[in-house]
Amino acid sequence: MTEAAQGNARCPRCGKAFHCGAQDATCECAQVQIDDALRAELQQRYVGCFCVACLRALQAAGNAA
């Protein structure tokens, strides 16, 4: 299995292994907009990158508030 298939990170919110694309030419998470207040809260509560599914869920919850 390749590194991308195995995942090189683990989401601190859901625990899922995923490929973090922060060092890639493009990263899917760059398309997810999180407001500054939520970003600051998440940085206080968690360490590391989130999987795209969690980022989208957090974005949707933030937009619903």
Domain ranges of the chain: 3-64
Q: Is the dihedral of CA 26, 35, 59, 19 positive or negative?
A: positive
> Using one digit for the tens of pLDDT, what is the confidence trace for 1-53?
344 445 689 999 999 999 988 888 888 888 899 999 999 999 999 999 999 99
Q: What's the pLDDT score for residue 27?
A: 85
Q: What's the pLDDT score for residue 55?
A: 94
DSSP assignments along the chain, one per residue: --HHHH-SEE-TTT--EE---TTSS--GGGG----HHHHHHHHHH--SPPPHHHHHHHHHHHHH-
Q: What's the pLDDT score for residue 18?
A: 93
- Distance linking the first and last C-alpha atoms of the chain: 41
pTM: 0.78
